[in-house]
Chain A
């Protein structure tokens, strides 16, 4: 094999090696595969140390059950074990711990998530389904997590602001490599990152419901500048979600006057939550209505949110 061919093959290896799915794809697809397995096959996936420990665990469970029978309220009629069961029912928080709630939203106290009867909202529309869990993403905030580009030189005007914005980003090697949704926000064209939630895609918004992402300002068909988050890998952790019905139940009741505008549509989104030196992207429900009103409800189960 000639050196020239060796070099070409090395470049081919590097080129094919650079093709990778998005970061969350592996976990998403595995979750779909797991969902198809019967429960005993999921347990069968435990291997190595888990199998060695299994007989020991079985013995411990038997002994524990026997001790519980002897000391528990059912045997003696006492109340000695009550406190322990309350403590053990608290779920451990996933990898990022309790998450900061999106600004301006209220986190219901644990146990109140379904209390809906007295908070009849002014929402009259379909509610999208939420899956049992979704990924939350996190990125450390540093001086290098945002970029700004100012236009230099003259560019030919484009009749479509989206075309002008895309062209500007491509010329500056700043077109996002992740899936995105394009939104027009005033004179800005916003490229909002999209994340998978269940079978659908959810775009990134700020806590007030505006699109968040790479923002290109276009005036008279010419891009004058762009700014946005740097395209970097995100850490991720799966969090349990509450149901859309529970989120709807927590919508604030309409103001005293019955003329307050009604919310008419709901969308699953990801909301940007900066806190403690990090920026979190958390799933949420965005309710919107006429006159540009909107209100956001966290989708993460309340026990995993900071009060």
Chain B
């Protein structure tokens, strides 16, 4: 059985990557920080029971992150619907950090990624934000290795058509 790394090492090695994955899904730095904090709090609580045999530590962390993002989306949808009903207002403006980030080098690419279907966005973020193999990405996304590969290649093909050379 592989040795389990110390939680401190996992935290140090994966904090930025988990934050990046969460940010890519939420596009709001404050919300990304909250959700990243939840991910590591949950991971910390569950780490004693974690066994490397079932998943690698990084796949395990990204799976927790994926669930946390889904939970956040669910809560945000409920909150947004309630607030709209109560106030009849538009959702809050763009996140300042996101605006700043958008204006830098990758604007066109970011816009193109955001036009992809949700699962394709997710597979691209996992592929480029984590060091997971397609087998592990499949584990995280509840699909087979081949399905993860297929999903990713479709996403890249779509991006090539959207992004100017």
Contacts and interface: CB of A to CB of B under 8 A. Distances in A.
Nearest to B107: A15
A14 B106 CA distance: 9
Given A16-B20, A19-B24, A175-B99, A9 B156 contact: yes
A190 to B, nearest CB: 14
Q: How large is the interface on B (under 10, 10 to 19, 20 to 34, 35 or more residues)?
A: 35 or more
A11 B106 contact: yes
Contact of A29 (B8, B30, B36, B110): B36
Interface in A31-63: 32-33, 36, 45, 47
B128 A175 contact: no
A29 B40 contact: yes
A33 B41 contact: yes
B89 to A, nearest CB: 16
A33 B10 CA distance: 13
A179 B30 contact: yes
Interface string B126-150: 0111000000000000000000000
B33 A21 contact: yes
A63 B110 CA distance: 64
Contact of B156 (A8, A22, A47): A8
B44 A8 contact: no
Contacts of A20: 16, 19-20
Interface string B83-114: 00000000000001101110111100110010
A168 to B, nearest CB: 14
A22 B24 CA distance: 15
B32 interface: yes
B11 interface: yes
Nearest to B8: A45
B23 interface: yes
Nearest to B37: A29
B117 to A, nearest CB: 16
Nearest to A11: B109
A98 B104 CA distance: 39
A11 B125 CA distance: 13
B158 to A, nearest CB: 11
Contacts of B24: 16, 19
Contacts of A175: 96, 99-100, 103
B65 interface: no
A25 B100 contact: no
B33 A19 contact: no
B101 A19 contact: yes
A199 B138 CA distance: 36
A18 interface: yes
A5 interface: yes
The 10 closest A-B pairs by CB, nearest first: A177-B100, A19-B20, A15-B106, A16-B128, A21-B19, A12-B128, A16-B129, A19-B23, A29-B37, A13-B128
Given A16-B20, A176-B96, 9 more contacts: A5-B160, A12-B127, A13-B128, A16-B125, A19-B19, A19-B23, A33-B41, A47-B6, A173-B103
28 contacts: A4-B160, A4-B165, A5-B156, A5-B160, A8-B159, A11-B109, A12-B113, A15-B113, A15-B128, A16-B20, A16-B128, A16-B129, A18-B105, A18-B106, A19-B101, A19-B129, A21-B16, A21-B19, A21-B32, A22-B29, A25-B19, A33-B44, A170-B103, A175-B96, A175-B103, A178-B97, A179-B30, A179-B97
